[in-house]
Amino acid sequence: MIKNFDTQLQVSLRALREVVAPSLEGAEKHVVEQLHLAIATLDFVKARMPEARRYYRMELRSYLDLSKDALSVAGPELADDSAALAAIVQDGAALLLNPEADLPDYEEANARIREALTQLSGRAVGKVCQEALETMILQHSADILLQARKWCIPFGFETNPDALPAEKWL
């Protein structure tokens, strides 16, 4: 049994490309499309698995920076929501210091922060801090989205991948 994930993926991809795909000649279009989607997904996992922990840590740092700025803008006016976000920020910062943290931990922390930021932004509607908060969120989000697009380059959807900024997770 092969214990190395990279080798397992390489063997599986080769089997799908060289054995399964040719045997599907004449199959219904949706069957062939599903095979190609599965191959693309496995290619993506193979390419990104070695970098996944660094990517999710980079993403968490980005959301923590965004959250700290959001707290400085909305904190005084939205005390309850700000307190909830501050607690989540504290948990996220502690997670970055935890050497045992794994991918699901980072994914969960990022989701919690996004949810808290969404709630904070929703509560800011009609408040004095609304415009400043929304502007700040958009500014931070631009960089986060560019990094997410860079992360997804292996899928092949970027028309000009060289125009994207350098990976911040490396």
pLDDT digits (tens, 9 = 90+) for 70-94: 999 998 899 999 999 999 999 999 9
Domains of the chain: which residue ranges?
5-50, 51-163
Q: Please, which pLDDT band fits residue 106 given cuts at 50, 70 and 90?
A: very high
Q: Given a cut of 90, is residue 3 above it in pLDDT?
A: no
Gyration radius of the chain's alpha carbons: 21
Q: Which amino acid is at 92?
A: G
Q: Which amino acid is at 126?
A: G
pLDDT digits (tens, 9 = 90+) for 27-82: 999 999 999 999 999 999 999 999 999 999 999 999 999 999 999 999 889 999 99
Sole residue written with tokens 């799908």: 16
Task: Report d(CA 95, CA 101) in Å as an integer.
Answer: 7
Of 119, 139, 121, give the one whose Cα is nearest residue 130: 121
Diameter over CA atoms, the chain? 65
Averaged over 120-144, what is the pLDDT? 97
Q: What single DSSP character describes residue 4?
A: -
Task: Report d(CA 93, CA 87) in Å as an integer.
Answer: 10
| CA-to-CA dists, residue 34 to 16, 150, 151, 155, angstroms | 12, 24, 22, 15
Neighbours of 59 (CB within 10 A): 21
Sole residue written with tokens 């502007």: 135
Q: Please, which pLDDT band fits residue 1 given cuts at 50, 70 and 90?
A: low
Q: Given a cut of 80, is residue 2 above it in pLDDT?
A: no
Helix axes 5-15, 29-48, angle to 10 degrees: 160
pTM assigned to the model: 0.89
